[in-house]
């Protein structure tokens, strides 16, 4: 059997053609985003050479200022997407406020939220990191520029979401609400090629991913659940295996392909609703999985601020459902 060769651009175009009246703007938007990711990927691959070519904050042997990689990723996305003509506003995990479109550039009907380089504490040790994105349609129409309200939309209203992972290969995984597709970058061609068609997460996994160093701050439900998967989880016939890289995209990607549950529980959580939790929740749900805070579906949360943090429990459907039960039972008995 011969599998088809298809670039991400062809794939996005084919998907857009399913919508009568589509203008092609969305295809152009995502295509520009893949260009930014290729530039970031190239720089991530050189990260280990920083000491040879110049420390951050210095001038390298080519006379160029060496930027920190997360700043580089932020600037690259801003420069590529700001002039693309299809956005009215952006917001990033790295910026305190909304990011307006540069003065002279055309404004469009979409809103982009992104985490330019997630897991950045892993850069120095050569572990996988990623870029996460979320796209909404604008909801305001007061002026060509988008506003904060355009950014503070529920995850359920995303029209596309996904991530790039800079690992042993660079991959793009995305959804527009019709399944999840994965593309692997062929560096010699500079093209993302379809490598994972219609990704489905197993309904139950045997991996749990959590920072066990935080045990002291977990709520009772999380403590009981983790105890359960380590000791009493009989359905698999053996305890779950712990896998935790500490880079959300990398931990999420592994669990998406193999099955499993990732937890960054409350009470406050660490991960951001708009740049991390909501986009990955859309991906996981489209792949047949689930994402919750324990008490609430991530995609149903109405954001109230740009950098709002939420507990995030995400992965295989049956595992997340089981966690939610532990969480609810513990919350109910605490309330009695």
**Which residues of this protein are in contact with ligand FDP, per CB under 6 A?**
118-122, 211, 246-248, 270-271, 276
Among residues 67 and 120, whose Cβ is nearest to ligand FDP?
A: 120
State how beta strands 87-92 and 110-118 pair.
parallel
Q: How far is the CB of 270 from ligand FDP (least distance, A)?
A: 6
DSSP state of 291: E
- To ligand FDP, the closest distance from the beta carbon of 250 in angstroms equals 8
- Residue placing its CB nearer to ligand FDP in the complex, 60 or 120: 120
Rounded to a whole number of angstroms, the CA Rg of the chain reads: 20
User: Given CA atoms 306, 308, 310, 312 in this order, what sign does their dihedral have?
Assistant: positive
Closest CA to 9 of 29, 38, 23: 29
Task: Quote the least distance from Cβ 213 to ligand FDP, whole Å.
Answer: 7
CB-wise, 163 or 326, nearer to ligand FDP? Answer: 163
Q: Which CA distances in Å does 47 have to 94, 128, 129?
A: 19, 12, 12
Whichever of 12 and 91 has its CB closer to ligand FDP, that residue is 91
**First-to-final CA distance of the chain:** 61
Q: Given the complex with ligand FDP, which of 50 and 101 has the nearer CB atom?
A: 50
Nearer to ligand FDP, 172 or 250 (CB): 250
Give the CA-trace dihedral at 47, 44, 76, 97, to 10 degrees.
-90
**Burial letters 120-158, b for 16+ CB under 10 A, else e:** bebbeeeebbbbbbbbbebeeeeeeebbeebbbbebeeb
Closer residue to ligand FDP, CB minimum distance, 248 or 278: 248
In sequence order, what E strands does 119-167 have? 129-137, 160-166
Shortest distance, CB of residue 126 to ligand FDP, whole angstroms?
14
Q: At what angle do helices 220-231 and 317-335 cross, to 10 degrees?
A: 130
How near is the Cβ of 7 to ligand FDP at its closest, in Å?
28
Q: Is 243 helix (H, G, I), strand (E, B) or coil?
A: coil
Dihedral (Cα; 317, 322, 327, 329), 10-degree rounding: 140
CB of 122 to ligand FDP, least distance (A): 6
Q: Taking the complex as a whole, how short is the minimal distance between the CB of residue 305 and ligand FDP, in angstroms?
A: 17
The nearer residue to ligand FDP, 13 or 242, going by C-beta atoms, is 242
Supply the minimum distance, in Å, between the C-beta of residue 246 and ligand FDP.
Answer: 4
**Spatial distance between the Cα atoms of 122 and 244, rounded to a whole number of angstroms:** 12
């Amino acid at each position: 059997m011969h599998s088809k060769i298809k670039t991400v651009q062809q794939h996005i175009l084919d998907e857009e053609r399913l919508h009568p009246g589509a203008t092609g703007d969305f295809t152009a938007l995502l295509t520009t985003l893949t260009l930014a990711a290729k530039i970031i990927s190239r720089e991530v691959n050189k990260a280990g050479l920083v000491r040879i070519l110049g420390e951050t904050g210095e001038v390298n042997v080519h006379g160029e200022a060496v930027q920190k990689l997360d700043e580089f990723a932020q600037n690259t996305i801003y420069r590529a997407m700001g002039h693309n003509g299809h956005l009215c506003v952006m917001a990033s995990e790295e910026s305190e406020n909304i990011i307006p479109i540069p003065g002279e550039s055309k404004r469009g009907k979409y809103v982009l939220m992104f985490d330019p380089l997630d897991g950045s504490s892993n850069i120095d040790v050569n572990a996988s990191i990623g870029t996460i994105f979320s796209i909404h349609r604008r909801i305001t129409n007061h002026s060509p520029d988008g506003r904060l309200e355009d950014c503070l939309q529920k995850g359920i209203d995303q029209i596309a979401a996904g991530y790039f992972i800079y690992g042993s290969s660079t991959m793009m995984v995305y959804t527009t609400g019709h399944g999840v597709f994965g593309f692997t970058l062929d560096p010699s061609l500079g093209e993302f090629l379809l490598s994972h068609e219609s990704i489905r997460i197993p309904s139950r996994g045997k991996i749990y991913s959590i920072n066990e160093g935080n045990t002291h701050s977990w709520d009772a439900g999380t403590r009981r659940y983790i105890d359960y998967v380590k000791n009493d989880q009989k359905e698999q016939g053996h305890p779950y295996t712990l896998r935790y890289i500490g880079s959300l995209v990398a931990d999420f990607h592994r669990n998406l392909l193999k099955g499993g549950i990732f937890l960054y529980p409350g009470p406050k959580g660490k991960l951001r609703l708009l740049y991390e939790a909501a986009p990955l929740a859309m991906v996981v749900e489209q792949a047949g999985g689930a994402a919750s805070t324990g008490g609430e579906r991530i995609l149903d949360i109405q954001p109230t601020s740009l950098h709002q943090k939420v507990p995030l429990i995400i992965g295989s459907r049956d595992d997340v459902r089981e966690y939610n039960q532990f969480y609810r039972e513990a919350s109910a008995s605490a309330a009695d």
